[in-house]
Amino acid sequence: MHNFGGLFHNSKGAFSVKKQKRSLLRRFDVLFFSTMLIFAVLLAAVTTIIDLRLRHFLYDSVRDSLRFYDNRLDVELDQDIMFLIESCSSDPDIIRLRTTANRNEEVGCIVRIQNRLLSQVTTHSLIRGFYLYYPDKDVFLPAYSTASTGTGNGYPYPSFISELIKSNMNKGVVDNNLLKNWFFIEEQDCLLRLLRVGGIYVGAWVDLNSLPGFEEFSGNEAIWLITDDSGHVLYADKALAEEGYEKDYRKDLLLPVEESLKNPLYATIPDVGKKIVLSFRQSFSDYCYTILLPQGQILQAFSSFYILLLLLVLWAVLFFISYNYMGRRIIEIPVKSLMAVTESIHSGNLDNRVTPPNDYEETIQITDAFNKLLSEIGDLRISVYEEQLQAREFELKSLKNQVAPHFLINCLNTVFMSAQDQSKLEVTNNIISTLSSHLRYTLSDRNIVPLSEELEYLENYIFLTQNRFPDTLQFQKETDPTVLDAEVFPMILLTLTENSIKTGLIMGEPFLIRIRVSQKHENGKTFVVLEHTDSGVGLSEEKLQKYNNILEQPDVTEKGTGIGLYNTAMRLRLIMGPEAELKFANAEGMGLCVTISFPYKKYDEE
């Protein structure tokens, strides 16, 4: 109330001002019509601007809905594909089916594989089915749901997938163009994904007729389409036919998709009429969602606004005729309070709340409703963010669980051998203490640690290995102290060192591992650079090329090799983001050099 004290204190002055306004209003009567004309012009201009902004708001809301829907599909499809890839890498029946020559054993493997895959395909799953194709045996193994969902009545045997793979296979290898992304199968109204894992081809398919979410847009009298970049319609929901389109849309309907990706366009659809075309590119395929909105959508969506605008004009006329002090007090002051909060909302801050500027019931009701809306938006944002974190944490834990216990077994053997000699009791205790600390670090649930801690436990690992291989392993380290507080994920360097020792160290022969930590600056950002070099024999050019594209070359993990490097590359992408890089090269005078670079971010214990 302090801000409005002057209004109550100078009550006599307020009455005197009111008398002066009467004399001004008499003068205003002379200029009233000219002022109203100026006001009408300004109102028309403001109305036009607001109308354009409302249109863009409508388009942005549809585009945001498409973005949210696409993100949801992308996350669920990625989870199913990761499940399939992990199954192919770890399922003994899938691996055994490729090599066995026993027919009875083949049948048993097929039954068990189908049962495990079918457990992932439910009536609520986006994936209609999985499949595996063994080119060496010409065995096609599908696992698919036959439940009645969507607009279909079950699903036929997916022989079209087997025929597609065989028709695009040359010398036992499928064309790489089919392995890049999800692609559309016209005759089946489905999206198909094909991957090569090891020596087999695996994948999944999605029935477009049973995808959830179409009704969200159909409820807005919109027509849902899936198109390619050239504007050809690949799939249309039943709303297109319900509005009168009777031709074959795949042959006859062409839309301005490329232009509508940037801005909504008006287009005339034969037998349907004028529509607003809005497109959004799918993140998991090379196709686009295209929405056809009714031309009168803007009027239907904001009809209350236009009625309110007309009432506002009438109110403005009355406002010019009779200056209403209470109207300004009840309306203008709360609006200013709301606008002060909305400005902070535009900057991304949802923590501010509106304080009622007076004790009128209307003002308190408006501010309470607005504050409640802000709280619900904040809770929704936190809920969506936590769901994304849970999905990402699940992927990271599945990667960390692949660490093998061979190192622990070898170290325990070293402890046992050392304990036989009582004169090495201190050495034995030191090994046990270091091993205990090392295991707590490698088996912890933390996803982020400071780089200095990773280097400390790397030296612990070197110490343990030097005790296993006396007078063999040598270690050199060069670090930049300004980036030792950078955040990294655990075992980012330990995995590389384990891989070097496993593949290059020979008992009795000197073996050197060199670590270099530095920084670089690119595009105004600071990057941490980790170089891991060993004195082994390096890699062939063919393997270097595969390892430099390790995430696109799943076959590098065949026969158990390369799993640690593949996990490191995958965790680097998930945690450090798209700017992180992993490169392999042969160092001059040394062996393999692995370089990791990622944006610098200071570690925060909280």
Residue type, 198: G
Q: Which of 462, 590, 482, 477 is nearest to 534 (CA)?
A: 590
The pLDDT score that the predictor gives to residue 42 is: 82
Residue 131 lies in a domain: yes
C-alpha 257/C-alpha 227 separation (Å) is 8
Tally Cβ neighbours within 10 Å of residue 75. 15
Q: Are residues 393 and 409 in the same domain?
A: no
Query: What's the CA gap between 447 and 575, in Å, rounded?
Result: 8
Would you say 224 and 287 are in contact if contact means Cβ atoms under 8 Å apart?
Answer: no
Predicted pLDDT at 60: 82
In a domain, 584, yes or no: yes
| pLDDT of res. 521 | 92
Confidence of residue 322 (pLDDT cuts 50, 70, 90): low
pLDDT at 23: 38
Asked if residue 469 and residue 425 are part of one domain, the reply reads yes
Co-location of 362 and 502 in the same domain: no
pLDDT of res. 377: 75
Q: What pLDDT is attached to residue 484?
A: 93
Write the CA distances from 513 to 374, 403, 536, integer angstroms.
55, 21, 9
CA separation, residue 287 to residues 70, 226, 230 (Å): 12, 7, 10
Res 420: pLDDT: 61
Number of helices (H) and strands (E) in the chain: give both, helices first. 20, 19
How many domains is the chain partitioned into structurally? 3
Span 272-284, average pLDDT: 88
What are the start-end ranges of the H helices in 91-181?
92-99, 103-118, 159-167
CATH number for the domain harbouring residue 136 = 3.30.450
What's the CATH code of the domain at 581? 3.30.565.10
CA distances from 283 to 77, 237, 280 (A): 11, 20, 9
Relative to beta strand 581-586, strand 511-522 is unpaired
Stated length of the chain: 606
Instruction: Please identify which residue in the block is written with the tokens 């049962």.
Output: 115
For residue 567, what are its two tokens?
């996990």
Closest C-alpha among 391, 392, 386 to residue 574: 392
Structural domain includes residue 35? no
* Residue range 417-428, pLDDT digits in tens: 666 665 566 667
* Phi, psi dihedral angles at 201 (to 5 degrees): -110, 130
Torsion sign, CA atoms 559, 563, 569, 574: positive
Choose the weakest-confidence range: 157-161, 330-334, 392-396: 392-396
Average pLDDT over residues 26-52: 70
Per-residue pLDDT band for 597 (boundaries 50, 70, 90) equals very high
Cα→Cα distances 227→66, 110, 214, 263, 292, Å: 14, 37, 15, 16, 12
The predicted-structure confidence for 165-174, as pLDDT tens digits, reads as follows: 888 888 778 8
Instruction: Grade residue 464 by pLDDT with cuts at 50, 70 and 90.
Output: confident
More confident residue, 21 or 288: 288
Note the pLDDT of residue 218: 47
pLDDT in tens, 173-212: 888 888 888 888 887 888 899 999 888 899 998 888 777 6
* Secondary structure of residue 120 in the 3-state scheme: coil
Helix (H, G, I), strand (E, B) or coil at 532: strand
Q: So what's the pLDDT on residue 480?
A: 93
Percent of the chain residues topping a pLDDT of 70 = 70
Instruction: Give the pLDDT of residue 45.
Output: 82
Rounded to an integer, the average pLDDT of 425-446 is 70
309 within domain boundaries: no
- Tell me what pLDDT residue 147 has: 61
Write the single-letter amino acid at 135: P
pLDDT tens, 220-238? 678 888 999 899 999 888 8
Domain match, 412 and 535 both: yes
- What is the C-alpha to C-alpha distance for residues 93 and 109, in angstroms, rounded to an integer? 5
pLDDT at 1: 39
Do the domain assignments include residue 370?
A: yes
Answer yes or no: do 387 and 407 share one domain.
Answer: no
449 contacts 490 by C-beta, under 8 angstroms: yes
As given in the structure block, the two tokens for residue 88 are 């192919």
Q: Do 395 and 457 reside in the same domain of the chain? A: no
pLDDT in tens, 483-513: 999 999 888 898 888 888 888 888 888 999 9
56-65, 271-280, 285-294: segment of lowest average pLDDT: 56-65
Answer yes or no: is pLDDT of 4 > 50: no
pLDDT tens, 377-412? 767 765 664 555 455 555 445 544 444 455 566 666
Which of the residue ranges 108-112, 263-267, 331-335, 515-519 has the most confident prediction, judged by mean pLDDT?
Answer: 515-519
Share in percent of the chain as helix, strand, coil (round to 5) = 55, 20, 25
Residue 276: which pLDDT band, with cuts at 50, 70 and 90?
confident
The amino acid sitting at 403 is V
395 occurs within a structural domain: yes
Of 380, 401, 422, the residue that ends a domain is: 401
Sheet holding 233-236, edge to edge: 233-236, 223-227, 288-294, 273-281, 265-269
Residue 585 pLDDT: 94
Q: Most distant CA pair in the chain: distance in Å?
A: 113
Amino acid identity of residue 292, one-letter, is L
* 435 and 392 belong to one structural domain: no
- Gap between the Cα atoms of 262 and 258, Å rounded: 8
Look at residues 401, 420, 453 and tell me which one is the last residue of a structural domain.
401
For residues 411 and 397, membership in a common domain is answered with no
**Whole-number Å distance between alpha carbons of 56 and 58:** 5
Q: Quick one: tokens of 414?
A: 């070293």
**Same structural domain, 348 and 464:** no
Residue 284 located in a structural domain: no
**Looking at per-residue confidence, does 315 or 389 come out higher?**
315
493, 362: one domain: no
- What per-residue confidence (pLDDT) applies to 481? 92
Tokens 């290059």 belong to which residue? 504
Co-location of 388 and 467 in the same domain: no
Residue numbers of the domain that contains 376: 324-401
CA distance linking residue 27 with residue 7, whole number of Å:
26
CA distance 165 to 36: 74
Confidence label for 33 from pLDDT (cuts 50, 70 and 90): low
Does this model's pTM top 0.75?
no
Last residue of a domain, one of 359, 378, 401: 401
CB within 8 A of 64, min separation 6: which ones?
A: none
Q: Give the pLDDT band (50/70/90) at residue 561.
A: low
The residue that leads in pLDDT, 594 or 299, is: 594
Could you tell me if residue 543 is inside a domain?
yes
Between 269 and 330, the higher pLDDT residue: 269
Checking if the pLDDT of 18 tops 50, the result is no
Number of Cα atoms under 13 Å in the Cβ half of residue 308: 8
Same domain? For 488 and 379 the reply is: no
